[in-house]
C-alpha cells in the first residue's frame, strides 16, 4: 500500500518535470516519421523497433542510475518514516520505470492509431513491439538501479559502468559476435552462438522481433541461427523467458542490496 502512495507522488513529480513528456514525444515523432516513410507496413515497424532497441536501454540504464543518486536525500527522509525497505524500493522503482514505459507505449501507439496502422497491420506485431519496449524499459531501469546501488558513494563510477554496459550490450556485442563467427567459421559454433544471444537482453529482444517478422537472415548471424535452431514459436518463447530472467535477476539483486544498505 505504501508503495502505491510513493508511486503516485513520484508520477506527479515526474510529470511536473516535463522531462518524461519530452521522452514520450520523441517516440511519437519517430513513430510518425517511420510510418510516413515506411507506408505503415512491417518495414515501419521494424524501423521503430530498431530505434527502440537502442534508445530504451540507454535512457533506462542512465536515468535509472541517475534517479537514485538524485533522490538520495529524499530516500533517506523516507527511510526515516515508518515504512519497510522493500515497499520503498518497489515504490521508487515503479515510480520511475512505469512512467518511462508508459511514455514509450503511448508515444509509439498514438501515431499508429491516427495513421490507421492499427487496423492495417497485424495486431500481434504491434502488441509484441509495445510489450518488448515495456519489458526493456523495466529491465534496463532495473540494471541502472543496480549500478547505482552498487556504487552508491561514487556516482561517476556508477554512471560510467551504466554507460559502458549499454555501449557493450547495444553496440559492441554484435560486432564481437560477428568477429567470433569469422574466426571460428569452420567449426560447428551454433550452440555457442545461441548461448551468446541468450546472454544479451538487447539481442534477445532483437531476435524476438526478427522471428516475429520472419526476416532473421537480414539482421545478424545470431538471429539466423536462432531461427533455424528453434523455429519461430519455440524461439520466441525461449527468448522471452530469458528476457524475464534478465528482468528478474538485476531487480532481485538490487532489492537485496537496497535492503542491506547503509544510508
Residues that bind another protein (CB under 8 A): 2, 5-6, 9-10, 12-13, 16-17, 71, 73-74, 76-85, 260-263
Distances (CA, A) of 70 to 145, 152, 241: 12, 11, 33
Identify which of residues 73 and 186 has a Cβ nearer to another protein in the complex. Answer: 73
Buried b (16+ CB within 10 A) or exposed e, 80-90: eeeeeeebbbb
Q: Which is nearer to another protein, 10 or 216 (CB)?
A: 10
Dist. CA 4–CA 130, nearest whole Å:
24
Give least dist CB 145 to another protein, A. Answer: 18
Q: What is the CA radius of gyration of the chain?
A: 19
Q: How far is the CB of 249 from another protein (least distance, A)?
A: 23
Closer by beta carbon to another protein, 191 or else 261: 261
Separation in Å, CA 159 to CA 57, 119, 194? 14, 42, 30
What's the closest the beta carbon of residue 3 comes to another protein, in angstroms?
A: 10
Q: Nearest CA to 59 among 67, 48, 47, 70? A: 67
When the beta carbons of 13 and 190 are compared against another protein, the nearer one is 13
Shortest separation between residue 35's beta carbon and another protein, angstroms: 34
Q: Which three cell numbers stand for residue 232?
A: 519461430
Q: Shortest gap between Cβ of 221 and another protein (angstroms)?
A: 46
With respect to another protein, which residue has the nearer C-beta, 79 or 163? 79
What are the respective helix, strand and coil percentages of the chain, to the nearest 5?
85, 0, 15
Amino acid at each position: 500500500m505504501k508503495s502505491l502512495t510513493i508511486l503516485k507522488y513520484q508520477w506527479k513529480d515526474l510529470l511536473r518535470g516535463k522531462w518524461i513528456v519530452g521522452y514520450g514525444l520523441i517516440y511519437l515523432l519517430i513513430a510518425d516519421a517511420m510510418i510516413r516513410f515506411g507506408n505503415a507496413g512491417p518495414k515501419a515497424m521494424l524501423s521503430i523497433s530498431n530505434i527502440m532497441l537502442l534508445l530504451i536501454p540507454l535512457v533506462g540504464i542512465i536515468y535509472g542510475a541517475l534517479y537514485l543518486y538524485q533522490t538520495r536525500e529524499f530516500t533517506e527522509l523516507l527511510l526515516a518514516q515508518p515504512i519497510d525497505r522493500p515497499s520503498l524500493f518497489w515504490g521508487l522503482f515503479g515510480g520511475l520505470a512505469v512512467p518511462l514505459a508508459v511514455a514509450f507505449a503511448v508515444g509509439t501507439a498514438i501515431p499508429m492509431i491516427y495513421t490507421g496502422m492499427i487496423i492495417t497491420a497485424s495486431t500481434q506485431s504491434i502488441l509484441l513491439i509495445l510489450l518488448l519496449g515495456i519489458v526493456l524499459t523495466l529491465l534496463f531501469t532495473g540494471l541502472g538501479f543496480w549500478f547505482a546501488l552498487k556504487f552508491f558513494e561514487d556516482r561517476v563510477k556508477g554512471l560510467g559502468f551504466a554507460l559502458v554496459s549499454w555501449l557493450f550490450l547495444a553496440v559492441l556485442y554484435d560486432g564481437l559476435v560477428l568477429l567470433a563467427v569469422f574466426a571460428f567459421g569452420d567449426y560447428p559454433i551454433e550452440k555457442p552462438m545461441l548461448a551468446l544471444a541468450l546472454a544479451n537482453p538487447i539481442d534477445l529482444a532483437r531476435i524476438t522481433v526478427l522471428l516475429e517478422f520472419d526476416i532473421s537472415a537480414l539482421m545478424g548471424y545470431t538471429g539466423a541461427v536462432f531461427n533455424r535452431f528453434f523455429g519461430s514459436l519455440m524461439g520466441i518463447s525461449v527468448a522471452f523467458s530469458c528476457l524475464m530472467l534478465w528482468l528478474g535477476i538485476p531487480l532481485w539483486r538490487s532489492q537485496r542490496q537496497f535492503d542491506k544498505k547503509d544510508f
